[in-house]
Protein backbone atom coordinates (compact mmCIF):
# COMPACT_ATOMS: atom_id res chain seq x y z
CA UNK A 1 0.00 0.00 0.00
CA UNK A 2 1.21 3.48 -0.88
CA UNK A 3 0.58 6.04 1.89
CA UNK A 4 2.46 8.97 0.36
CA UNK A 5 -0.51 11.33 -0.19
CA UNK A 6 -0.59 14.29 2.22
CA UNK A 7 -4.04 15.68 3.02
CA UNK A 8 -3.85 19.47 2.94
CA UNK A 9 -5.87 22.45 1.80
CA UNK A 10 -7.55 25.66 2.87
CA UNK A 11 -8.09 26.42 6.53
CA UNK A 12 -10.69 29.16 6.92
CA UNK A 13 -10.85 29.35 10.72
CA UNK A 14 -11.73 27.53 13.91
CA UNK A 15 -14.94 25.58 14.45
CA UNK A 16 -16.97 22.91 12.67
CA UNK A 17 -18.67 25.37 10.31
CA UNK A 18 -15.30 25.97 8.58
CA UNK A 19 -14.33 22.34 8.13
CA UNK A 20 -13.19 20.85 4.84
CA UNK A 21 -12.58 17.18 4.05
CA UNK A 22 -8.78 17.38 4.45
CA UNK A 23 -9.35 18.41 8.10
CA UNK A 24 -11.44 15.35 9.02
CA UNK A 25 -9.55 12.54 7.25
CA UNK A 26 -7.76 10.16 9.63
CA UNK A 27 -8.93 11.99 12.77
CA UNK A 28 -11.01 9.12 14.19
CA UNK A 29 -10.21 5.56 15.28
CA UNK A 30 -13.59 4.31 14.02
CA UNK A 31 -14.39 5.92 10.68
CA UNK A 32 -17.68 5.55 8.82
CA UNK A 33 -16.06 5.78 5.37
CA UNK A 34 -12.69 4.62 4.09
CA UNK A 35 -10.87 5.83 0.98
CA UNK A 36 -8.81 3.19 -0.84
CA UNK A 37 -6.93 4.16 -3.98
CA UNK A 38 -6.45 1.69 -6.83
CA UNK A 39 -3.54 2.75 -9.00
CA UNK A 40 -3.91 0.62 -12.12
CA UNK A 41 -4.47 0.94 -15.82
CA UNK A 42 -3.06 -2.48 -16.63
CA UNK A 43 -6.61 -3.66 -17.41
CA UNK A 44 -7.08 -0.75 -19.82
CA UNK A 45 -3.74 -1.57 -21.45
CA UNK A 46 -4.76 -5.23 -21.87
CA UNK A 47 -8.06 -4.00 -23.31
CA UNK A 48 -6.11 -1.91 -25.87
CA UNK A 49 -7.40 1.36 -24.41
CA UNK A 50 -5.52 4.58 -23.66
CA UNK A 51 -3.59 4.36 -20.40
CA UNK A 52 -3.16 7.00 -17.70
CA UNK A 53 -5.85 6.06 -15.15
CA UNK A 54 -3.20 4.72 -12.73
CA UNK A 55 -2.48 8.35 -11.78
CA UNK A 56 -6.06 9.06 -10.73
CA UNK A 57 -6.34 8.23 -6.98
CA UNK A 58 -4.21 11.09 -5.63
CA UNK A 59 -5.68 13.61 -8.07
CA UNK A 60 -9.20 12.66 -6.93
CA UNK A 61 -8.01 13.00 -3.31
CA UNK A 62 -6.63 16.47 -4.11
CA UNK A 63 -10.05 17.52 -5.45
CA UNK A 64 -11.82 16.05 -2.40
CA UNK A 65 -9.47 17.79 0.05
CA UNK A 66 -11.05 21.26 -0.10
CA UNK A 67 -14.69 20.21 -0.32
CA UNK A 68 -16.75 21.38 2.67
CA UNK A 69 -18.00 19.19 5.50
CA UNK A 70 -21.71 19.90 5.99
CA UNK A 71 -22.43 17.36 8.71
CA UNK A 72 -20.30 15.36 11.13
CA UNK A 73 -18.40 12.65 9.28
CA UNK A 74 -15.44 10.37 9.93
CA UNK A 75 -13.20 9.25 7.06
CA UNK A 76 -10.09 7.08 7.04
CA UNK A 77 -7.63 7.06 4.16
CA UNK A 78 -6.15 3.57 3.93
CA UNK A 79 -3.71 4.39 1.13
CA UNK A 80 -3.46 3.10 -2.42
CA UNK A 81 -3.16 -0.41 -3.84
CA UNK A 82 -0.56 -0.20 -6.61
CA UNK A 83 -0.50 -2.54 -9.58
CA UNK A 84 3.22 -3.27 -10.01
CA UNK A 85 4.89 -4.80 -13.08
CA UNK A 86 1.57 -5.62 -14.75
CA UNK A 87 0.49 -7.93 -11.90
CA UNK A 88 -3.19 -6.98 -12.11
CA UNK A 89 -4.62 -10.14 -10.55
CA UNK A 90 -2.37 -9.63 -7.49
CA UNK A 91 -3.50 -6.00 -7.15
CA UNK A 92 -7.18 -6.97 -7.45
CA UNK A 93 -6.74 -9.61 -4.72
CA UNK A 94 -5.05 -7.03 -2.48
CA UNK A 95 -7.88 -4.58 -3.07
CA UNK A 96 -10.44 -7.30 -2.29
CA UNK A 97 -8.71 -8.00 1.04
CA UNK A 98 -8.67 -4.28 1.90
CA UNK A 99 -12.38 -3.94 1.07
CA UNK A 100 -13.25 -7.02 3.14
CA UNK A 101 -11.21 -5.69 6.08
CA UNK A 102 -13.08 -2.36 5.92
CA UNK A 103 -16.45 -4.09 5.93
CA UNK A 104 -15.44 -6.27 8.89
CA UNK A 105 -14.56 -3.08 10.80
CA UNK A 106 -17.93 -1.52 9.98
CA UNK A 107 -16.56 1.00 7.47
CA UNK A 108 -17.95 1.76 4.02
CA UNK A 109 -15.15 1.57 1.46
CA UNK A 110 -14.95 4.19 -1.30
CA UNK A 111 -12.45 3.03 -3.92
CA UNK A 112 -10.75 5.61 -6.12
CA UNK A 113 -9.84 4.18 -9.54
CA UNK A 114 -8.03 3.53 -11.74
CA UNK A 115 -9.19 1.57 -14.75
CA UNK A 116 -12.50 -0.28 -14.53
CA UNK A 117 -10.58 -3.43 -13.65
CA UNK A 118 -11.00 -1.92 -10.16
CA UNK A 119 -14.56 -3.32 -10.25
CA UNK A 120 -13.56 -6.96 -9.90
CA UNK A 121 -11.39 -6.11 -6.88
CA UNK A 122 -14.18 -4.09 -5.23
CA UNK A 123 -16.81 -6.76 -5.94
CA UNK A 124 -14.53 -9.57 -4.76
CA UNK A 125 -14.00 -7.80 -1.44
CA UNK A 126 -17.74 -7.59 -0.81
CA UNK A 127 -18.18 -11.16 -2.05
CA UNK A 128 -15.47 -12.45 0.32
CA UNK A 129 -17.00 -10.54 3.23
CA UNK A 130 -20.43 -12.07 2.61
CA UNK A 131 -19.04 -15.58 2.13
CA UNK A 132 -17.14 -15.34 5.41
CA UNK A 133 -19.58 -13.38 7.59
CA UNK A 134 -23.13 -13.20 6.17
CA UNK A 135 -23.44 -16.13 3.76
CA UNK A 136 -27.18 -15.74 3.11
CA UNK A 137 -27.01 -12.16 1.84
CA UNK A 138 -27.46 -11.37 -1.85
CA UNK A 139 -25.29 -8.84 -3.69
CA UNK A 140 -26.54 -6.51 -6.39
CA UNK A 141 -24.14 -4.68 -8.71
CA UNK A 142 -25.20 -1.34 -10.16
CA UNK A 143 -22.81 -0.11 -12.83
CA UNK A 144 -23.20 3.39 -14.27
CA UNK A 145 -21.43 2.81 -17.57
CA UNK A 146 -21.68 3.18 -21.33
CA UNK A 147 -20.20 -0.33 -21.59
CA UNK A 148 -21.40 -3.66 -20.19
CA UNK A 149 -17.83 -4.77 -19.35
CA UNK A 150 -18.95 -8.38 -19.81
CA UNK A 151 -16.28 -9.15 -22.37
CA UNK A 152 -14.86 -12.64 -22.71
CA UNK A 153 -11.07 -12.60 -22.74
CA UNK A 154 -8.22 -14.95 -21.91
CA UNK A 155 -7.08 -12.65 -19.10
CA UNK A 156 -8.65 -10.10 -16.78
CA UNK A 157 -9.01 -6.62 -18.35
CA UNK A 158 -10.99 -3.41 -17.80
CA UNK A 159 -13.61 -4.93 -20.12
CA UNK A 160 -14.16 -8.16 -18.17
CA UNK A 161 -14.96 -7.28 -14.51
CA UNK A 162 -18.64 -8.17 -14.47
CA UNK A 163 -18.19 -11.40 -16.39
CA UNK A 164 -15.45 -12.17 -13.83
CA UNK A 165 -18.00 -11.36 -11.08
CA UNK A 166 -20.61 -13.61 -12.70
CA UNK A 167 -18.08 -16.46 -12.91
CA UNK A 168 -17.07 -16.03 -9.25
CA UNK A 169 -20.74 -16.04 -8.23
CA UNK A 170 -21.44 -19.22 -10.22
CA UNK A 171 -18.43 -20.96 -8.67
CA UNK A 172 -20.05 -20.46 -5.25
CA UNK A 173 -23.60 -21.24 -6.42
CA UNK A 174 -24.63 -17.61 -5.90
CA UNK A 175 -27.08 -15.69 -8.07
CA UNK A 176 -25.66 -12.89 -10.19
CA UNK A 177 -27.61 -9.63 -10.00
CA UNK A 178 -26.35 -6.95 -12.40
CA UNK A 179 -27.87 -3.63 -13.46
CA UNK A 180 -26.02 -1.48 -16.00
CA UNK A 181 -27.24 2.11 -16.35
CA UNK A 182 -26.25 4.20 -19.37
CA UNK A 183 -25.55 1.45 -21.92
CA UNK A 184 -24.68 2.91 -25.32
CA UNK A 185 -25.86 0.75 -28.20
CA UNK A 186 -23.03 2.02 -30.43
CA UNK A 187 -20.41 1.09 -27.80
CA UNK A 188 -21.29 -2.59 -27.26
CA UNK A 189 -21.14 -5.49 -29.72
CA UNK A 190 -24.04 -7.85 -30.33
CA UNK A 191 -22.30 -10.60 -28.34
CA UNK A 192 -22.17 -8.31 -25.28
CA UNK A 193 -25.94 -7.82 -25.40
CA UNK A 194 -26.34 -11.58 -25.77
CA UNK A 195 -24.08 -12.16 -22.76
CA UNK A 196 -26.03 -9.59 -20.72
CA UNK A 197 -29.29 -11.34 -21.58
CA UNK A 198 -27.87 -14.81 -20.88
CA UNK A 199 -26.87 -13.60 -17.39
CA UNK A 200 -30.36 -12.10 -16.82
CA UNK A 201 -28.84 -8.64 -16.50
CA UNK A 202 -30.99 -5.54 -16.31
CA UNK A 203 -29.92 -2.56 -18.38
CA UNK A 204 -31.04 0.96 -19.17
CA UNK A 205 -29.91 2.67 -22.37
CA UNK A 206 -28.20 6.05 -22.36
CA UNK A 207 -30.97 7.56 -24.54
CA UNK A 208 -33.56 6.61 -21.87
CA UNK A 209 -31.72 8.68 -19.28
CA UNK A 210 -33.70 11.89 -19.62
CA UNK A 211 -35.28 14.04 -16.94
CA UNK A 212 -38.81 13.20 -18.10
CA UNK A 213 -38.05 9.50 -17.46
CA UNK A 214 -36.38 9.84 -14.04
CA UNK A 215 -39.37 8.60 -12.01
CA UNK A 216 -39.81 5.51 -14.19
CA UNK A 217 -36.10 4.75 -14.09
CA UNK A 218 -36.08 5.03 -10.30
CA UNK A 219 -38.94 2.50 -10.16
CA UNK A 220 -36.91 0.13 -12.35
CA UNK A 221 -33.88 0.58 -10.10
CA UNK A 222 -35.95 0.03 -6.94
CA UNK A 223 -37.39 -3.17 -8.41
CA UNK A 224 -33.84 -4.43 -9.00
CA UNK A 225 -32.68 -3.40 -5.51
CA UNK A 226 -35.69 -5.18 -3.96
CA UNK A 227 -34.18 -8.54 -4.98
CA UNK A 228 -30.89 -8.04 -3.11
CA UNK A 229 -29.59 -7.28 0.39
CA UNK A 230 -26.41 -5.33 -0.31
CA UNK A 231 -25.24 -3.14 -3.17
CA UNK A 232 -21.93 -2.55 -4.85
CA UNK A 233 -22.14 0.69 -6.84
CA UNK A 234 -19.55 1.51 -9.48
CA UNK A 235 -19.46 4.70 -11.53
CA UNK A 236 -17.42 4.55 -14.73
CA UNK A 237 -16.84 8.20 -15.55
CA UNK A 238 -17.16 7.46 -19.28
CA UNK A 239 -20.92 7.26 -18.70
CA UNK A 240 -20.89 11.08 -18.73
CA UNK A 241 -20.52 13.32 -21.75
CA UNK A 242 -16.95 14.13 -22.82
CA UNK A 243 -17.67 17.80 -22.08
CA UNK A 244 -17.75 17.15 -18.32
CA UNK A 245 -15.60 14.00 -18.33
CA UNK A 246 -12.87 14.50 -20.96
CA UNK A 247 -10.27 12.65 -18.88
CA UNK A 248 -11.41 9.05 -19.30
CA UNK A 249 -10.08 6.03 -21.17
CA UNK A 250 -12.99 6.07 -23.66
CA UNK A 251 -14.76 9.46 -23.92
CA UNK A 252 -18.52 9.35 -24.55
CA UNK A 253 -20.16 10.84 -27.63
CA UNK A 254 -23.55 11.11 -25.94
CA UNK A 255 -23.28 10.52 -22.21
CA UNK A 256 -25.59 11.02 -19.25
CA UNK A 257 -26.42 14.38 -17.74
CA UNK A 258 -25.76 15.07 -14.05
CA UNK A 259 -29.32 16.36 -13.68
CA UNK A 260 -30.42 12.75 -14.33
CA UNK A 261 -27.55 10.95 -12.60
CA UNK A 262 -27.88 12.84 -9.28
CA UNK A 263 -31.49 11.83 -8.46
CA UNK A 264 -30.74 8.22 -9.46
CA UNK A 265 -27.77 8.00 -7.09
CA UNK A 266 -29.85 9.68 -4.37
CA UNK A 267 -32.63 7.10 -4.79
CA UNK A 268 -30.11 4.25 -4.57
CA UNK A 269 -28.53 5.82 -1.48
CA UNK A 270 -31.91 6.13 0.25
CA UNK A 271 -32.34 2.34 0.26
CA UNK A 272 -29.49 2.11 2.79
CA UNK A 273 -28.13 -0.97 1.02
CA UNK A 274 -24.87 0.42 -0.40
CA UNK A 275 -21.88 -1.42 1.06
CA UNK A 276 -19.11 -0.64 -1.43
CA UNK A 277 -18.78 2.35 -3.78
CA UNK A 278 -16.15 3.11 -6.38
CA UNK A 279 -15.37 5.57 -9.16
CA UNK A 280 -13.44 4.33 -12.18
CA UNK A 281 -11.69 5.41 -15.38
CA UNK A 282 -10.55 8.87 -14.32
CA UNK A 283 -7.58 9.44 -16.63
CA UNK A 284 -5.60 12.56 -15.63
CA UNK A 285 -3.38 12.29 -18.70
CA UNK A 286 -6.31 13.43 -20.87
CA UNK A 287 -8.12 15.63 -18.36
CA UNK A 288 -8.80 19.33 -18.94
CA UNK A 289 -8.67 21.71 -15.95
CA UNK A 290 -9.05 18.63 -13.69
CA UNK A 291 -12.70 18.46 -14.83
CA UNK A 292 -12.94 14.69 -14.57
CA UNK A 293 -11.18 14.50 -11.19
CA UNK A 294 -13.53 17.26 -9.97
CA UNK A 295 -16.50 15.25 -11.25
CA UNK A 296 -15.26 12.15 -9.37
CA UNK A 297 -14.90 14.21 -6.18
CA UNK A 298 -18.38 15.73 -6.66
CA UNK A 299 -19.95 12.27 -7.00
CA UNK A 300 -18.15 11.01 -3.89
CA UNK A 301 -19.18 14.16 -1.99
CA UNK A 302 -22.85 13.53 -2.87
CA UNK A 303 -22.51 9.91 -1.79
CA UNK A 304 -21.08 10.85 1.62
CA UNK A 305 -23.24 13.87 2.47
CA UNK A 306 -27.04 14.15 2.51
The answer to the question of residue 2 being in a domain is no
All residue ranges of the chain with pLDDT < 70 are none
Predicted local confidence at residue 14, as pLDDT: 87
3-state secondary structure of 48: coil
Q: Which residues have CB under 8 Å from 2's CB, separation 6+? A: 37, 39, 79, 80, 82
Sign of CA dihedral 74, 103, 93, 46: negative
Q: Tell me the C-alpha distance between 275 and 158, whole Å.
A: 22
pTM to 2 decimals?
0.97
The answer to the question of residue 10 being in a domain is no
The number of domains in the chain is: 1
Predicted local confidence at residue 120, as pLDDT: 98
The answer to the question of residue 261 being in a domain is yes
| Positions at the binding site | 116, 145, 147, 149, 236, 238
The answer to the question of residue 264 being in a domain is yes
Give tens-digit pLDDT for 91-143: 999 999 999 999 999 999 999 999 999 999 999 999 999 999 999 999 999 99
The answer to the question of residue 85 being in a domain is yes
The answer to the question of residue 7 being in a domain is no
| Positions at the binding site for Mn(2+) | 116, 145, 147, 149, 236, 238
The answer to the question of residue 58 being in a domain is yes
Its domain, for residue 38, covers 16-304
CATH number, residue 167? 3.40.800.10
The answer to the question of residue 3 being in a domain is no
Instruction: Tell me the C-alpha to C-alpha distance, in Å, between residue 233 and each of 24, 189, 191, 273, 277.
Output: 24, 24, 24, 10, 5
Amino acid sequence: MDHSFKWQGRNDGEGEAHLRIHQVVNTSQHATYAFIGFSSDEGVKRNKGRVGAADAPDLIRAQLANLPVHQPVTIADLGTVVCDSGKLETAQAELADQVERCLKQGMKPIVLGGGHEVAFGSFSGLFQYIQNHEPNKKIGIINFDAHFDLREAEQVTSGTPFLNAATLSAQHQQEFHYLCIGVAKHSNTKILFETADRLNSTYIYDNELQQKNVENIILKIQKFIGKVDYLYITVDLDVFSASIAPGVSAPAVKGVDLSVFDPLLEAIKETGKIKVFDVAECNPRFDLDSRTAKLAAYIIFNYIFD
